[in-house]
Amino acid sequence: MPNSAKWVMLVPMNLILAHVGARPGSKDEFEALTSAYLTRCLPFAHCKAEAFRTEEALLDWLKRLEGRTPVVAVLLDSRGKQMTSEGFAAWLGARRDEGTQQIVFAVGPASGWSDAARQRAQLLLSLGPMTMAHALARLVMAEQLYRAFAILTGHPYHGGH
């Protein structure tokens, strides 16, 4: 190998699917599916879920996460940007390629995000104009994370439909 070759060590991203509200319980029909999609993402990134009682608790936690690299906060918001699966995959791939180490995708409180929370976000992301249950929004986001990695790696899961 020539001396001019550069070795780049990629640090896996940490993806956290957070929400404001009660911790999912045994009666949450969507929790097992959400966990299954986050588990499918593990070959590509460290993934986990977190729950916070209040928006303030989530924002305080984001401050504590800050280290040598900033935490990218993506808040799911009906007024946010809508993306195709391919567009979202490109956005996630760009964050990965620029060395982003932590991304938090957060589903907000029932009353919506405060102005302070929206200002903290690097991206306001809308899953579409329809309103959906928070547990369902977490499931959709977890599936889209897995789909994004499938797109980025050429995995057949995403057939382009």
Helix (H) or strand (E) holding 115: helix 115-120
3-state secondary structure of 161: coil
Distant-in-sequence, close-in-space partners of 143: CB < 8 Å, separation ≥ 6: 37
Q: What is the dihedral sign for C-alpha 155, 83, 21, 30?
A: negative
161 residues of the chain, pLDDT tens digit each: 445 554 444 557 999 999 998 787 667 789 999 999 999 999 999 999 999 999 999 999 999 988 778 899 999 999 999 999 999 999 999 999 999 999 999 999 989 999 999 999 999 999 999 989 999 999 999 999 999 999 999 887 877 65
Q: What's the predicted TM-score (pTM) here?
A: 0.88
Return the DSSP state at 130.
S
